[in-house]
């Protein structure tokens, strides 16, 4: 979805930017009225249960055909919210196409008791074509391995985070994923890969988070260590562990410019299904690579992004970064890292909520991404 989704927003936002400089007042009013009718606002209406903004748009690609996608973002205030507290957020994404593919995603962040309690949840269900190259960097760079498949995928990850010290949280939750109805073209899949299966594991995490606003940080830091343990006793068909480390920092270098940096590492160990390996490339990091083309037991990446606002509503970003996958953590530095560079357009659709359209360029590949909230 993130590669192919709507260009309607980009066109609409570009029209709005152009209108500021060259159109007559009635034309500019028409654009503003359309944006307002979709829910665009630089303030939050706290009298509403959820202050929604909705962005629809068409897409087309060879695998899915013609389709329609919708991204919706809502800001809301829990029962104990007071002026100055973070707004809680709910983001929905959905699409359907003429090929029968569909997807529905939800991401929620609820901040309670002066941000000492966080209720976090992510969910995704889809039936969509994808590609699989196999495990390891050599497999990913062999075009003969590229195998198209259809599958029905469900992912759930609810978590509760409690503040234990200033800006420091411990969290616990559940990670669930099911992959069923795998229907591939002839290629690298094994008979075991085609069987319906599921993962079920406990999430434990410790993080330091001083970011001023999680969906669109302008200052502060994040340092997170997460452990997910998948066990048959929890209903998982596979027995393995996943460790993830994430470090981010944000500097305001001018009134209009933010500098953001991230380091990310992940390792998995045990009896791992083909879809359980650490996958490189998505809408958050290593943009420009097909998600899951590069997958292995260990991953490490870093990125630096400059975010500049030209007006309160319009901005752009540019980033550069690099990463690698390997069969073990100590092998991550043995090969030349894969590069990523790119640029993106930012449109402030709601208060401190950006819609982004990014173009990422990797080694022999590119990716387009339409998303709500910053990449990291």
Q: What is the pLDDT of residue 41?
A: 77
Q: What is the pLDDT of residue 16?
A: 38
Q: How far apart are the first and last CA of the chain?
A: 18
Q: What is the pLDDT of residue 29?
A: 65
Helix 25-37 and helix 8-22, axial crossing angle in degrees, nearest 10: 150
Q: What is the pLDDT of residue 117?
A: 97
What number of other Cβ atoms are within 10 A of residue 233's Cβ? 7
Could you give the CA distance from residue 226 to residue 266 in angstroms, rounded to a whole number?
Answer: 9
Q: Report helix, strand and coil shares of the chain as percent, to nearest 5.
A: 10, 55, 30
Q: What is the pLDDT of residue 2?
A: 42
Q: Which residues contact 26 (CB under 8 A, 6 or more apart)?
A: none
Q: What is the pTM of this model?
A: 0.88
CA atoms within 13 A on the CB side of 207: 25
Query: Structure tokens of 243?
Result: 């460790």
343, 349, 352, 355 alpha-carbon torsion, rounded to 10°:
-30
Q: Which residues contact 163 (CB under 8 A, 6 or more apart)?
A: 115, 116, 117, 169
Q: Which residue has the tokens 């909520």?
A: 353
Q: Which residue has the tokens 């920092």?
A: 249
Helix (H) or strand (E) holding 22: helix 8-22
Query: Of 73, 14, 86, whose CA–CA distance to 40 is shortest?
Result: 73
Could you give the CA distance from residue 337 to residue 285 in angstroms, rounded to a whole number?
Answer: 14
Q: Which stretches within 23-120 are classed as H helix?
A: 25-37
Domains for the chain: give ranges and CATH numbers.
Answer: 8-372 (2.40.160.50)
Query: 373 with 357: CB under 8 angstroms?
Result: no
Residues with pLDDT less than 70, the chain: 1-32, 34-35, 61-62
Q: What is the pLDDT of residue 46?
A: 87
Could you give the CA distance from residue 248 to residue 271 in angstroms, rounded to a whole number?
Answer: 31
């Amino acid at each position: 979805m993130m590669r192919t989704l709507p260009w309607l927003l980009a066109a609409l936002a570009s029209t709005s930017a152009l209108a500021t400089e060259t159109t007559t007042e009635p034309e500019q009013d028409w654009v503003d009225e359309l944006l307002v009718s979709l829910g665009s606002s630089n303030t939050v209406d706290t009298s509403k249960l959820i202050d929604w903004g909705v962005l629809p748009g068409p897409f087309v690609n060879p695998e899915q055909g013609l389709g329609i996608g919708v991204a919706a973002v809502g800001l809301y205030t829990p029962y104990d919210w007071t002026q100055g507290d973070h707004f809680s957020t709910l983001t929905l994404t959905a699409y359907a196409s003429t090929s029968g593919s569909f997807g529905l995603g939800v991401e929620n962040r609820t901040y309670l008791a002066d941000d000492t309690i966080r209720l976090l949840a992510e969910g995704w269900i889809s039936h969509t074509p994808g590609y699989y190259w196999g495990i390891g960097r050599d497999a990913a760079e062999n075009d003969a391995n590229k195998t198209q498949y259809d599958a029905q995928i469900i992912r759930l990850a609810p978590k509760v985070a409690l503040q234990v010290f200033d800006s420091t949280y411990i969290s616990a939750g559940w990670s669930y994923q099911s992959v069923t109805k795998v229907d591939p073209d002839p290629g690298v899949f094994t008979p075991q890969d085609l069987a319906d299966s599921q993962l079920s594991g406990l999430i434990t995490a410790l993080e330091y988070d001083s970011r001023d606003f999680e969906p669109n940080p302008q200052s502060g830091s994040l340092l997170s260590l997460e452990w997910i343990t998948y066990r048959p006793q929890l209903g998982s068909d596979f027995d393995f562990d996943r460790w993830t480390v994430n470090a981010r920092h944000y500097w305001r270098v001018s009134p209009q410019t933010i500098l953001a940096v991230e380091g990310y590492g992940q390792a998995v160990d045990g009896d791992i299904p083909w879809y359980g390996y650490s996958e490189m490339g998505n809408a958050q990091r290593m943009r420009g690579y097909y998600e899951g083309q590069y997958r292995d037991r260990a991953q490490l990446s870093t990125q630096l992004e400059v975010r500049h606002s030209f007006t309160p509503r319009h901005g752009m970003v540019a980033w550069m970064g690099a990463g690698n996958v390997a069969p073990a953590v100590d092998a991550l530095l043995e090969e030349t890292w894969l590069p990523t560079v790119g640029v993106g357009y930012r449109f402030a659709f709601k208060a401190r909520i950006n819609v982004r359209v990014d173009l990422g360029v990797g080694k022999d590949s590119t990716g387009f991404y339409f998303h709500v909230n910053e990449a990291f």
